[in-house]
Amino acid sequence: MKLVVIEGVGKKPAIQKYLGSGYKVFATMGHVRDLPEKTLAVDVENNFKPTYVIMPKKKEVVAELKKAAQSAECVYLATDPDREGEAISWHIATILGIPEHEKARITFNEISKKAITKALECPREIDKSLVDAQQARRVLDRLVGYKLSPVLCRKIQSKLSAGRVQSVTLRLVVEREREIMNFVPEEYWPFFSVLSQRGGKIRAALATKIGSKYKIGSKEEVDEVIKGLDGKPYIVTSVKKTVTKAHAPAPFRTSTMQQDAINKLGMSLNQVSMSAQSLYEGVDIPGEGKVALITYIRTDSTRVSPEAQAAAREFIAAHYGADYVPEKPNIYASKGNVQDAHEAIRPISLERTPESLKDLISRNHYRLYKLIYERFLASQMSEAKYNSLTADIECGDYGFKVTGRTPLFPGYTKVYSDKEKDDDDMKKLPDLSEGDRPTFVEYSYEQKFTKPPARYTEATLIKAMEEKGIGRPATYQPTVSLIEKRAYTERDGKSIKPTELGFKVCDMLIMYFPDIMDVTFTAEMESKLDTIEEGGKVWQQLIGEFYTGFEKEIEKAMGDGYKMKAPAQETDYKCEKCGSPMVIREGRYGKFLACSAYPKCKNTKQLDENGNIKVKTEEPPVETDVICEKCGAKMVIKTGSRGKFLACPNYPKCKNTKEYGE
C-alpha cells in the first residue's frame, strides 16, 4: 500500500477514486506543525530560528499519519501546489523522518486521473526555496503581530492585534473614508444638442469652446451657451468611420474571479471562496461520486497550458465555427511580481458544460462554475469587431462630439460580456457625412454634482490590494475577513467602512510604525519575499534587514506615555448584580456599559448607536443542510455579536463553527 498525503479532506474521495485500491489517501486538514500560539517562538538572537511544535488540535492526526506511514511501502506528499503546501510537505517529511533528498513530493494543478497519474510518474525533492519563502512570511508575520499587538493594547485598549498585511489594508479603508469625509462636491452641467439628420435623431455632446475643452459649471453658463448657439447652423466638420476590435479578457486568476463573482453573481467573498474550493476539490455528482471541476484556485497567473489551449480551440471550432478561433492562440501578459507556477483558473474539461450540471450541483456551485467556464472559453476566442463612428459638429464658438458603435462580429462576446458596459456603448450609428447641416431639435441638460470616491466593497478592496501589491492570492480573502472580524471595519450594505476603533488603530500604527503602514514599503517587501522563492535571497538576511529598524520603533512606542485610551465615563445606571455604578467603556465592538467594580464584578451590557441599553432577543436556531464535519450533525444558524454564523447543535460537546454562507 502506497500512502498519498494531501491537505483538504474535501478532495480525498476524488483522489482516492482516481488512484484505486493500491493507494491510501490521508488528509492532514491543513498545517500540522506551526509556531506555538502563546510565545514568540522566533529566536531573534540566533538568526531568527523558528521553533515549531505539533499543533494541539493535530496531535491525533499526526499519530494516525505516523501509523499509516509505518505500514506504507512509500509515502507521496501531495499537498497543495503553492508555498503553504510545500511547507506542509516539509513539516510532514520532518515528522515522518523522510530524508531531505528523497523524491517524495508530487504536485498537480487539477484533480483528474490524467494529472494525478502524470504527477506520480515524476516525483521530486521538496523545494527548499519554496519552503524558505513560506518560512520567511510566517516568521515576519509572527514578529510583526507579536510585537505590534502589545503596543495597541497599551495605548488604545486590551485584546487588540495587528498584522503586516491586514494593517496596511485597513489603512486603505481608513484613507478612503477620510477622502469621502473631506470631499467637496463641484457643480457641473452635461449639455447636449439634439439634432435631426435624414430622419434620424443625433445626441451631440458639448465638448469645446473656441477650440479648447469646455465643461459647464453653472446655470448661468448654460444660459450663456444657449445664447451663443441659438439661431446658428450646426455643421459636421469631420466624420471618422472605423472597424474597432475588442480583445477577449484573460482567464481568471484568484482576484479577478473573486471580483467578477461578487459583482456579477452577488455572492459574498466567503461564498465565492468556499464555492471555488469545492469546485476544485470535488462536488458530488449523482452516479459519479466526487468530481473536481476546475483547476487550482490560488493563482496570480493567466497562463494556460498548451494542452488546455489546444482543447479549447478544438471545442470552439466544433461548437461556434472556425471564425471564432483566433489565427494564433491568445497569450496574456502577466503583471509584475507574478509567481507563474500555476495556470489560470479554468474548467478541467470543456465537455462538462454548465448546462449539463445545472440540475446536479448546488446553485452557487453552478453559477460560479458557469462564470469560470464562460470566461475561460471567451479568453480563447476571436476578437469582437464593431463599426464605430466619431463625428465633430460645430455651431458658433462651440464644438460637439458624436460617437456610436454597433456590432459587426460578436467574437468572444458570444459567450461572455460585460452587459452594462456593452449596452452603454451600443448606439445606432448616425447617418452623417462631412459638410452635413443637421437640423436643431432641442437642448438637453441637467444639473449634477461630482461625487466622492465610493467606499470599498469586497471586490474593489481586493482589486486595490492586487494593484498596489499588498498580499498575494491566498491572503486576499482572509485579510478582508480578518479586519472585519477584529471590528476594525464594518459593513454598510455592500460597502466596507472603518469603525471608530479602526480609525484609532490605523492612526496609532501610522504614528509609530510608518514603514509597516506604508503601501509602497509593504509591496516592496512582498516582492523581496518572492525573490526567496526564486532562490535569490536568504530569508534570514531579509528578516534581519527589516527587524533592525522595526525593533527601534517598538522600543520608542513602548517607551513613551502617549495613549488613545478613553477614560471610563460615569453614568446614572446601577449594576443590578452588585449595586455599583455602571460606566461607559470602549471595546472592540464600540461602547458598552461595564460595572465599575470590575474585576470583582464582570457585569456588562451592550449599548446601541444612541447610547441606550440593548435588549437581547435570542432567535431560535434554524437548522440547515450543512453537515458538521466533526460530529455529523446538521449545523444551525445562530446570531452572535458579529452577526449570523453556523454552529454545531451539539455544543458544548462539539464546538465547531463556520462563517454564515460557507
> Could you read off the pLDDT of 484-541 as tens digits, one per residue?
999 999 999 999 999 999 999 999 999 999 999 999 999 999 999 999 998 888 999 9
In this predicted model, what pLDDT tens digit does every residue of 25-46 receive, in sequence order? 999 999 999 999 999 999 999 9
Domains, the chain: 2-126 (3.40.50.140), 134-183+454-559 (1.10.460.10), 187-247+383-449 (2.70.20.10), 254-379 (1.10.290.10), 569-606 (no CATH), 622-659 (no CATH)
Check: CB of residue 225 under 8 Å from CB of residue 190: no
Asked if 430 contacts 405 with a C-beta cutoff of 8 angstroms, the reply is no
The helix (H) or strand (E) run that includes residue 166 is helix 164-181
> How large is the angle between the packed helices 458-468 and 164-181, nearest 10 degrees?
120
Other C-beta atoms closer than 10 Å to the C-beta of 233 total 11
Tell me what the pLDDT averaged over the chain comes to.
93
Pairing relationship of beta strands 2-6 and 74-77 according to DSSP bridges: parallel
What pLDDT score was predicted for residue 364? 96
Residue type, 456: Y
Categorize the per-residue pLDDT at 336 as very low, low, confident or very high, splitting at 50, 70 and 90.
low
Residue 575, Cβ density class (10 Å: 0-12 exposed, 13-18 middle, ≥19 buried): buried
In the chain, what are the helix, strand and coil shares in percent, each to the nearest 5?
Answer: 40, 25, 40
Q: What is the DSSP letter of 38?
A: S
23: annotated active-site residue: no
CA dist., res. 334 & res. 52, Å (int): 36
For 220, the grid coordinates are: 448661468
pLDDT at 422: 57
Query: Which whole-number Å values give the CA distances from 145 to 51, 131, 140, 141, in the listed order?
Result: 16, 21, 8, 6
Distance CA 207, CA 214 (A): 6
Among the listed residues 18, 234, 296, 547, the single catalytic one is: 296
Q: What is the pLDDT of residue 409?
A: 98
- pLDDT score for 450: 98
DSSP assignment, residue 45? Answer: T
Report the interhelical angle of 363-379 vs 269-281 (nearest 10°). Answer: 80
pLDDT tens-place string over residues 166-205:
999 999 999 999 999 999 999 999 999 999 998 889 999 9
Query: pLDDT at position 641, please?
Result: 57
CA distance 544 to 530: 16
End-to-end CA distance of the chain: give it in Å, rounded.
35
> Confidence band (pLDDT; 50, 70, 90) for 643?
low
pLDDT tens readout for residues 267-312? 999 999 999 999 999 999 999 999 999 999 999 999 999 999 999 9
For 101, residues 6+ apart whose C-beta sits below 8 A from its C-beta are 125
203-248 residue pLDDT tens: 999 999 999 999 999 999 999 999 999 999 999 999 999 999 999 9
Percent of the chain with pLDDT over 70: 95
Query: Would you say residue 340 has pLDDT above 60?
Result: no
How far, CA to CA in Å, does 613 sit from each of 221, 223, 578, 610? 54, 56, 18, 9
What is the average per-residue pLDDT within 612-630? 74
Burial bucket for residue 334 (CB in 10 Å: 0-12, 13-18, 19+) = middle
Contact 336, 529 (CB under 8 A): no
List pLDDT tens digits, range 422-438.
555 556 778 899 999 99
